[in-house]
Amino acid sequence: MKFVTVGRLAALAVAVTVMAGVAPLSAQQTPANAAAGGGRVAFVDMRKVLAATPGYAQAETTFVKEMAGYRSEFQKMQQTLDSAATQFEQQSTLLSPSAREARRKDLQAQQQRLEQRTQELQQRAGARERELLDPIQTRVVGIIEQVRSAAGFGMVLDISAQGSTVVAADKSLDLSDRVIAQLKTTR
């Protein structure tokens, strides 16, 4: 499982930059001066930015270790259930109808416990991921907003986002390195 939640971070970054204002052209604004200011669009590669963000590697390592524990717990529970199901299949013809029904109910209860525990582990993993990532995301989005504002861009898109339709772009509009430099100078 890859720790990068770039899609969520990208959506947050786009939302912040859109809310920050791509003002509609007014009667006094011409397309030429709109292009020189708030109507300009830039982009970042959020995967690159996150990889270079101080604290991200440590958060990723922590999350991966914790997820390994969750996976291990799930696998043990699944193996126990699989073993019990195999044993039931092998012995079912030897069991009385009432014993067979009782074992079937036991297997169903065990399956339900596995599903419930899986859901709990998924919720815990999601909460832990948010706990580790939210401070980093807030900081990255804040830096993107500062760079966007200082450079006079109206919007910043994430070119690494899944479903990105950017095929080619002027490299001078890539703010990734500026954002990374700013992240490294502010703590």
Tokens of 105: 């109910």
Q: Which residue do the tokens 């100078």 mark?
A: 185
Surface-to-core class of residue 26, CB atoms within 10 Å of its CB (0-12 exposed, 13-18 middle, 19+ buried): exposed
Tokens of 13: 């970054």
Torsion angles phi and psi, residue 156, rounded to 5: -125, 125
Measured distance CA(56)–CA(66) in Å, rounded: 15
Tell me which DSSP letter residue 171 carries. G
Element (H, E) at 24: none
Alpha-carbon distances, residue 9 vs 2, 42, 96, 144 (angstroms): 14, 16, 57, 11
Measured distance CA(36)–CA(132) in Å, rounded: 38
Mean pLDDT, each 10-residue run in order, the chain (187 residues): 40 38 34 53 93 93 94 95 93 91 94 95 94 93 94 92 81 92 86
| pTM passes above 0.75 | no
> Which contacts of 52-58 are long-range, i.e. CB under 8 A and separated by 24 or more positions?
52/180, 52/183, 52/184, 53/136, 53/139, 53/140, 53/180, 53/183, 54/183, 54/184, 54/187, 55/135, 55/136, 56/136
Residue 31: its pLDDT value, please?
40
Residue 136: its pLDDT value, please?
94
